[in-house]
Amino acid sequence: MSDTVEDTPSTGQKFTAETMGTFVLVFFGCGAALMSGGDYVATGLTFGLTVVVMAYAVGRISGGHFNPAVTLGAVLGGRLPWNQAGIYMAAQLLGGLVAGGALFGIMNAFPGYDVSVAGLAQNGYGDQSASNFALWGALVIEILLTAVFLWVILAVTDERNEVNALMGPLAIGLTLAMIHFASMGATGTSVNPARSIGVGVFAGTDAIVQLWVFVLAPLVGAAIAGLTYPLLFGQGAEPVAGSGLNFGGGKKGDQFVPGNYEAQWNQGQQGGWGQPGAAWGAPPQQQWGQPSPQQQPQQPDPAYGAPQAAPPGQWGAPQQQPQQPQQPPAQPGQWGAPQQQQPAQPGQQSAPGHWGNPDGDDDGRTQVRRPD
């Protein structure tokens, strides 16, 4: 029990992991868009790779959300308690804002840079988008793509999914890259309120005015996925206490373990789903000092002449090599007498002491009747 408590990340560690992961996502993803001039392949792959890298790095600590929409989908999907959601979202917003501020400062190092002209890789619709994309279209595409993103995440981290633990972050990162390839020309791709807020607040008034779309739409899409995944594909394991539509917070003493959300990203986290000996419903651990059930000596069968008293090595007795049960001496040639030689081959004289030849009779003429 002490090892489990020591290995469970603290709230501060989870906050730090989510802040760092979101910072890397926004800084490198939006930075690639700025430095490459909006190159589709470079930007889409960079966003996907940041999720993969940071999920491997800190996923064991916080589950690797890096996105308020992912956190909301996890809560409604039964993977995270409500009392953790505020901590996660605050860390993600902080990481996004720090990344946006860092990018704004770095871009001003370029001569003649003007954020109102070149932008800061912010999201937009209408006259603020590259293709003058309509408002209703921005809402629809952001809701749809965020829902797909959350369905993939919930499916990959479902404990019933036999995907190798090393492949989970890769599948999620590739999904984010696919999403960017399908929507960058429309809205610049958000599916993440922290990503949109992080650079949007530094990109000018027009970008700030449009932020509500890229906060509301991803959260709606995540809520749809979180609520419908159990209905479409089954709940799997029991929901975490205080998650979903249960706002009670669970029973006193319930403790959130990151493995309860990112099951496959936290195989090494004691107490998480999929951890041997820690899953709900696992058999109780062997008590210290007690022999295992496989080592429990079996009682001799009294039908074969074993004494009724338990021999040494019985459960609770000192562990010794099981002794052969004491039997009354058998008459030579009697059923159960010890065999000293192999049975005689057909056509050969029977050995003394074997069935059909009493001990000491070498000519094999005397027969011994089998006792009733």
184 pLDDT more than 70: yes
Report residue 372 as tokens.
């009733």
Backbone dihedral angles phi then psi of residue 354, each to the nearest 5 degrees: -100, 160
In-domain check, residue 82:
yes
The Cα-based distances of 24 to 19, 57, 311 in angstroms read 9, 11, 67
Q: Cβ(346)–Cβ(338) under 8 Å?
A: no
Q: Which residues contact 324 (CB under 8 A, 6 or more apart)?
A: none
Indicate whether 38 belongs to any domain.
Answer: yes
Report the phi/psi class of residue 271: left, alpha or beta, with left for phi > 0 and alpha for psi in -120 to 50: left
Whether 250 is covered by a domain: the verdict is no
Tell me how long the chain is: 372
pLDDT at 65: 98
Checking if the pLDDT of 195 tops 80, the result is: yes
177-191, 193-207, 250-264: the lowest-pLDDT one: 250-264
Question: Which pLDDT belongs to residue 329?
Answer: 54
Going by C-alpha positions, the residue among 64, 10, 78 that lies closest to residue 264 is 64
Residue 243 has what pLDDT?
A: 85
- C-alpha distance from residue 352 to each of 49, 88, 337, 368 (Å): 82, 85, 11, 12
pLDDT over threshold 50, residue 163:
yes
- What's the pLDDT at 244? 81
Residue 338 has pLDDT above 60, yes or no: no
> Is residue 53 over pLDDT 90?
yes
Q: Is residue 143 part of a domain?
A: yes
Higher pLDDT, 39 or 306: 39
| String of DSSP letters for 133-144 | --HHHHHHHHHH
CA-CA distance, 198 to 93, in Å (whole number)? 7
CA atoms 129, 135, 141, 143: torsion sign: positive
pLDDT for 241: 86
Could you report the per-residue pLDDT of 61-86, keeping only the tens digit for each? 999 999 999 999 999 999 999 999 99
In the chain, how many domains are there?
Answer: 1
- Please compute the mean of the pLDDT values over residues 135-159 and round it to a whole number: 96
83: domain CATH number is: 1.20.1080.10
154 confidence band (pLDDT: 50, 70, 90)? very high
pTM above 0.85, yes or no: no
Side-chain-side CA neighbours of residue 339 (13 Å): 10
**Mean pLDDT, range 111-124, rounded to an integer:** 95
List of residues 6+ apart from 281 with CB closer than 8 A: none
pLDDT at 247: 62
- Alpha-carbon torsion (305, 307, 310, 314), positive or negative: negative
Q: Is residue 83 part of a domain?
A: yes
Residue 113 resides in a domain: no
Contact call for residues 126 and 134 (beta carbons, < 8 A): yes
Residue 357: inside a domain, yes or no? Answer: no
The pLDDT of residue 161 is 86
* SS3 (DSSP) at 119: coil
For residue 269, is it within any domain? no
Range of the domain at 89: 9-108+120-244+256-262
Please, are residues 42 and 115 in contact by the beta-carbon 8 Å criterion?
no
Question: Residues with Cβ < 8 Å from 117, sequence gap 6 or more?
Answer: none
